[in-house]
């Protein structure tokens, strides 16, 4: 099994970290907008040594040894591709940033939990009145809190809200435009109708949520949001 856990570093299922399950290969993203980042790139976790070694070869153009490894062998001038690979290797400069970032994950997650709680406290009234819904996590599971979305009642258009907030210098995002709404796939799969996916696409908005956000920022954002709802 290959898990796409791009945004889920630090998340837990049944109190077990995603990426620590037996015999799975889990892929995490370090793209600039993730909760930890090296600007671009990502990393893979697996407890299967055989697969890990195969991945090391595949990402390095199929070469059995990377540049550093080759230098240590007698025959270092001779390249040997043992598999048809890809040029998917991460570079050492970004990896050194990533290692420092990974060490910060516990503090980052704790801070993001406090930010989420502040949003929930400030939005309590709107949630109680069912004007908005917020994501929930099942007992025993923990989200990595990549973003904070609110789901509106059908009658509100998220664009009105987003435009209003933008005028107050509050940037919001739509996570995400679903694949079947992109022009390439729309042409290819004309009759696809994904009712629930479209519902979330049209009615949910991601509010600012990042490691440099302050409680004061959240208070300002929620105050403006309440004015519009
Ligand atoms: C579920 C999922 N998979 C893959 C990606 C892409 O990650 P990257 O930009 O590192 O390729 C993202 C980016 O947000 C994502 O959310």
pLDDT tens readout for residues 178-208: 999 999 999 998 888 899 999 999 999 999 9
> How remote is the CA of residue 156 from the centroid of ligand 1, in Å?
29
> Is pLDDT above 80 for 67?
no
Ligand 1, atom nearest to 30 Cα: 10
4 lines ligand 1 (CB under 6 A): yes
Q: Ligand 1 within 6 A of 7 CB?
A: yes
Task: Give the mean pLDDT of 18-28.
Answer: 94
- Given a contact cutoff of 8 angstroms between Cβ atoms, the answer to whether 28 and 5 are in contact is yes
Confidence of residue 154 (pLDDT cuts 50, 70, 90): confident
- Answering whether pTM is above 0.85, one says yes
Q: Which of 65-79, 86-100, 144-158 bottoms out in mean pLDDT, i.e. has the lowest?
A: 65-79
The CB of 204 under 6 Å from ligand 1? The reply is no
As a whole-number percent, the residues of the chain with pLDDT over 90 amount to 82
Ligand 1 center to 28 CA (angstroms): 8
Give the residue, out of 7, 30, 41, 143, with the most ligand 1 atoms within 8 A of its beta carbon, to mutate for a pocket test.
7
Q: Whose CA is nearest to atom 3 of ligand 1?
A: 6
Residue spans of alpha helices (H) in 64-176: 67-71, 92-103, 105-122, 124-128, 158-167
User: Residue 34 C-alpha to ligand 1 middle, in angstroms?
Assistant: 9
* Ligand 1 contact via 151 beta carbon (within 6 Å): no
Q: By three-state DSSP, how is residue 101 classified? A: helix
- The Å distance, Cα 219 to ligand 1 centre, comes to 30
- What pLDDT band is residue 77 in, cutting at 50, 70 and 90? confident
CA 32 – ligand 1 centroid, Å: 11
Q: Which residues contact 201 (CB under 8 A, 6 or more apart)?
A: 174, 176, 177, 178, 181
- Calculate the average pLDDT of the chain: 93
Distance, in Å, from the CA atom of 52 to the CA atom of 54, rounded to the nearest integer, reads 5
């Amino acid at each position: 099994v290959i898990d796409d856990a791009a945004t889920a570093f630090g998340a837990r299922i049944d109190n077990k970290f995603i990426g620590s399950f037996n015999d799975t290969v889990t892929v995490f993203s370090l793209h600039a907008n993730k909760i930890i980042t090296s600007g671009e790139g990502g990393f893979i976790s697996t407890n299967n040594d055989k697969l890990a070694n195969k991945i090391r070869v595949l990402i390095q153009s199929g070469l059995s040894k990377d540049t550093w490894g080759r230098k240590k062998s007698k025959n270092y001038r001779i390249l040997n591709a043992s598999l048809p690979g890809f040029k998917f290797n991460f570079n050492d400069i970004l990896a050194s940033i990533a290692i420092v970032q990974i060490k910060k994950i516990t503090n980052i997650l704790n801070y993001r939990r406090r930010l989420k709680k502040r949003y929930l406290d400030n939005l309590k009234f709107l949630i109680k009145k069912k004007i908005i819904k917020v994501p929930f996590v099942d007992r025993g599971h923990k989200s990595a809190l990549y973003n904070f979305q609110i789901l509106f009642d059908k009658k509100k258009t998220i664009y009105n809200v987003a435009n209003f907030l933008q005028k107050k210098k509050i940037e919001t995002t739509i996570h995400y435009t679903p694949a079947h709404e992109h022009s390439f796939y729309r042409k290819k799969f004309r009759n696809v109708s994904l009712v629930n996916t479209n519902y979330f696409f049209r009615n949910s908005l991601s509010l600012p949520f990042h490691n440099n956000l302050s409680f004061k920022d959240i208070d300002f954002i929620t105050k403006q949001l309440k004015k519009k709802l």
